[in-house]
Structure 1
Amino acid sequence: MKTVEELFSLTGKVALITGGSRGLGREMAIAFAQAGADIVIASRKLDACEKVAAEVEALGRRALPYACHIGRWNQVNDLVEAAYNHFGKVDILVNNAGMSPLYDSIVDVSESMWDSVLALNLKGPFRLSALVGDRMAKGSGGAIINISSIAAIRPTKNEVPYAAAKAGLNALTLALADTFAPKVRVNCIIAGPFLTDIAKAWNMEEAMKRFGENSALGRPGEPEEIIGTALYFASDAASFTTGSLLTVDGGYRK
């Protein structure tokens, strides 16, 4: 039987994290490196990826910063090839990149906005999971973690395209868990409100009042509070967990 330390260790693993240069993605990248993994940090801005890569390397792990628009399949294809060429494998894939643009009313949602939201939040994760998951299934296995949102299960008028995309990501989790079984585990974190860069656009006084009224813990999450769940799904501690949709939202009710 493995010790607790061995169950949660990622020593010898390679993790590819999209949206890995900031917010929840950066937190997971640093935590996975601390647990022993080498990291592929992917986002649209190479300089931001390089900063996180330097942090990973300072922890004694290897890192590959890579600029990629996850909503574009040709760039996703290139990302996968770069990761495998550099490290020879990917053991953990985290589909974290996402966006939810603002709009004044539902009729203001343009076709291009709709397409871009669905591309980044759903199409890209599908393609990346298909490419990496297939190699995992034909090799030594692995873990895929999708980062969804409570908007997928409790959508509001302010995030209709995003909610639809994340609901699709939830469904994708279940479908891919079946597709790649038994060697690849596919799970999903349904994230609530976290104090990442997106919080800069909030009216903080109104937001804190809303969280106080509508969540059991009465506050938004700190970015590092995603780590425990992500590390569980990534590690051998979750060896009997797949097709799971786990809500991490502080008991958000509305």
Structure 2
Amino acid sequence: MMQHQRQHLAGRVALVTGAGRGMGGAIALDLARAGADLVICDIDMPALEQTHAQVEAAGARCLSLRCDVSSSIEVDNMFAAIVERFGTLHILVNNAALVPNRPVDTERRNKHYAYVTSPVPRQSLGFTSAMSDQEWHRYWDVNVHGLFYCTREALKLMEPQRDGRIINIASIAGISAMSAHSPHYSATKGAVIGFTKSVAAEVAGANIFVNAMAPGGVATPDLTAYIESIGDEKRNQLWQACPAGRLGTMQEYASTVTYLAGDHYLVGQVISPNGGVVI
């Protein structure tokens, strides 16, 4: 019965950054199914080609571009290509982000989860004091500077036409201590939320509605594999923090973004599908 709204974005052009895999790819596909034409970008071109094929199979026109959003020059070039192909942009989904999924990140995550699910003495976990300048700045370059570059260029198109929707992908890491193992990630996602609210108040009068989605755990292959690897006891301890007792699916998150891309009265809001982890 969802089909009655599936083409409500017909005639709209949407850009999804970081659309090569995971939630970005799912968002792009859901927007295509809702009738939008797509521009998708990533630095992982093989993955982006797969998303491109899925979007076109859904009946949408699609422009795929390699773009490192941490470079304002590459973002400028991407928007020039968007104007050349489609003439304008109506929807921006700022999804591209670095996430803590390297071996050192997994080590910190395991240490944090063990600390919060086991009766061990209270202590400092030592994450922030051991972090390098390089690691800290990497996350700001992509997660915050890239978000700004894309938003700035999108507004140059949306403001004259007095029409636009911007959805920034934040995280419960920006509104809670659930990602205390990754202070750099938490800080950048908190910045995403602050930026969202500020820009939303600035541009709402031009019928440009800016909101954020702050997901909880996303059932990506990597996170699903991690949770399956920790054993029943640790897994059940982990679910104590999540009333729903499971991760959110990529489709559940994607459909939230598609709603925010359409007609509504939401301005500067942080929608957080998280299974009750943060209420």
When normalised by structure 1's length, the TM-score is: 0.91
Per the alignment, residue 226 of structure 1 pairs with: 253
Asked whether the 8 Å contact 1:100–1:159 carries over to 2, the reply is no
Q: In 2 relative to 1, CA 36–218 (structure 1 residues): closer, same or farther, beyond 3 Å?
A: same
Q: Distance in 2 between matches of 1:212 and 1:205?
A: 14
Correspondence for 2:138 among 108, 116, 126: 116
Instruction: Identify the match of residue 200 of structure 2 among 169, 177, 180.
Output: 177
CA distance in 1, matches of 2:252, 2:149: 28
- For residues 190-248 of structure 1, give each alpha carbon's deviation from its aligned partner in whole angstroms, at most 9, with x where no partner exists: 11001114416624354742442111211111111112211110011x2x111111111
Counterpart amino acid of residue 89 in structure 1: T
Which residue of 2 is the match for residue 59 of structure 1?
58
Task: Tell me the CA shift for residue 47 of structure 1.
Answer: 2.4
Q: Which moved more, 1:50-59 or 1:204-213?
A: 204-213
Secondary structure of the 1:41 match is strand
Q: Is the 8 A contact 1:219 1:250 kept in 2?
A: yes
Residues 210 and 66 of structure 1: is their aligned pair in 2 closer, same or farther, counting only changes over 3 Å?
farther
**Distance (Å, rounded) in 1 between the aligned partners of 2:221 and 2:83:** 30
2:152 aligned with 1:130, yes or no? yes
Shift of 1:69: 1.1
Match of 2:167 among 135, 141, 145: 145
Letter of the 1:30 counterpart: L
Does structure 1 residue 16 correspond to structure 2 residue 15? yes
Mapped to 2, the partners of 1:211 and 1:133 lie a distance apart of 41
Superposed displacement of residue 99, structure 1 = 1.7
Q: CA deviation at 1:97?
A: 1.1
Q: Which has more radius of gyration? A: 2
* CA RMSD, Structure 1 to Structure 2 (Å): 2.1
SS in 2 for 1:248: coil
Q: Which runs of 5+ in 2 are unaligned?
A: 109-126
Hey, what's the Cα distance between the residues in 1 that align with 2:71 and 2:217? 27
The AA in structure 2 aligned to 1:160 is P
1:29 matched to which residue of 2? 28
Measured in 2, the distance between the counterparts of 1:149 and 1:92 equals 20
Identity of aligned residues (%): 31
TM-score, structure 2 normalization = 0.83
Deviations 1:148-190 (A, max 9, x none): 0001111343110110000000001101112222220000001
Between the aligned partners of 1:250 and 1:20, the Cα distance in structure 2 is: 24
Distance 1:68 1:80, change over 3 A: same
The answer for the alignment partner of 2:122 in structure 1 is none
Q: 2:210 aligns with which of 178, 182, 186?
A: 186
Distance 2:247 2:5 in 1: 31
How many residues align? The count is 249
Q: 1:241 aligns with which of 252, 257, 266?
A: 266
Contact 1:70 1:125 in 2 (8 A): yes
> What's the counterpart of residue 250 of structure 1?
275
Q: 1:7 to 1:184 in 2, by over 3 A?
A: farther
Partner of 2:80: 81
